[in-house]
Structure 1
Amino acid sequence: MKTLIIFLFVVATTTFSQAQEVTRLGEVKVGFAPINTEIIKTPNGFTFVIDKVRSIEFTSNPIGFMYDNFDIENFIAALDNDRYSNYEVSLECSRGSMVAFFDTKGNLMSTHQNFKDVLLPLAQRREVYKNYKGWTMTKNKYRAKTKGKVITDETFKITLQKGDRKQRIKIAGNNQGISLASN
């Protein structure tokens, strides 16, 4: 019995002493695009293709999505040997795209956004519903331009249908009202 207790004590001591070993981990690099994207180099810049799962998040707030999921400083550092005068970065998904222009320091200069079949903001939805009762929105297109992060031009082009009749309307995003598009 005495030898069994000594044997168990030696096994326990050996096990606990081995558990205290320090493991050093290798260096981890954080890239400029933490989301799982496909990166394509084009003659004018780089294109990041966003998967379908993240496309709804991207279309609801493209600039916020870009800042949350794309690090322009690391991107510029990775291209340090090329020394571009400015950077054109395209983010694309199945519903549309945004092209962002950055200066050499990584400051956002402007963006161009084009999307289709997006959820209209609440004010525009209410305006369309109030003025076109009984009509169904069959498709829409959203276009916007920004200077930095501020939207300077925003429009929604909407196709409505009621029975066999179709009508196209255009809504300015800054609440200037609805105008009929000429066919």
Structure 2
Amino acid sequence: MKNLIIYLIFIGLTTSIFAQNSSNTYEVTFNEVEIFNTNTNYLNAIGHRDAAELVKFLVEKAVSYDLEYSNCLKADYEKQEYYVQFKIPQGEILAVYDNDGEIIRTSEKFEDISLPLAVSNAIVKKYSGWKISNDIYRVTYVKDGALNKTYKLFIERTNIGKRVIKVDENGNFI
């Protein structure tokens, strides 16, 4: 019985050693794939990586929107611009596309989103003791042109009242 167990262990080890030395190798070759995004100018301009999650979500929807598979392009190919609205309860993006599917300009508005650190720090520094009750974030983008990001903040303090202030993306008061 003892010899049988030793023999089975020996067989088990030798078969696992030979199983690791497989000489059957396969080479797989893939065709070259070209990956591109027509809206990289828009993404680079607005700097969406630092944005709030809700903003990122809608920006990604606008960037990945394909006019070719929508009814816009099929309805009227003579048009030069196509207006598409992306909307969620906290905000919206009105994007204007050209015939190639590139974003020409946008108008964006979001409410009650998380503020960037630069904006929060500027508010705390200048308005210590104040509470932000509401915020509106607006972005206007024009291809090869202007980019404007502003935060309209509604702040309040118990004995003083309410104020409305505007701040840019870097925390500079407007």
Structure-2-length-normalised TM-score: 0.60
Q: 2:148 aligns with which of 145, 153, 165?
A: 153
Q: List alignment gaps of at least 5 residues for structure 2.
A: 1-51
* Alignment match, 1:111: 106
Pick closer, same or farther for the CA change 1:149–1:133 going to 2, 3 Å. farther
Q: 2:85 aligns with which of 87, 90, 93?
A: 90
For 1:128 and 1:176, the matched residues in 2 are separated by 8
Higher RCO, 1 vs 2 (CA within 8 Å, ≥6 residues apart): 2
Q: CA deviation at 1:149?
A: 8.9
Aligned-partner SS, 1:139: strand
* Alignment match, 1:139: 134
Pick closer, same or farther for the CA change 1:82–1:65 going to 2, 3 Å. closer
Q: CA deviation at 1:88?
A: 0.3
Q: List alignment gaps of at least 5 residues for structure 1.
A: 1-55
For 2:124 and 2:112, the matched residues in 1 are separated by 17
For 2:146 and 2:114, the matched residues in 1 are separated by 18
Q: CA deviation at 1:61?
A: 5.3
Pick closer, same or farther for the CA change 1:114–1:172 going to 2, 3 Å. same
Contact 1:157 1:169 in 2 (8 A): yes
* Alignment match, 2:48: none
RMSD after superposition = 2.4
* Alignment match, 1:99: 94
Aligned-partner SS, 1:118: coil
Higher alpha-carbon Rg: 2
For 2:152 and 2:75, the matched residues in 1 are separated by 43
* Alignment match, 2:63: 67
Report which of the two has the higher share of strand. 1
**Deviations along 1:4-35, whole A, 9 cap, x unmatched?**
xxxxxxxxxxxxxxxxxxxxxxxxxxxxxxxx
Percent identity between the two aligned chains: 25
Report which of the two has the higher share of helix. 2
Structure-1-length-normalised TM-score: 0.58
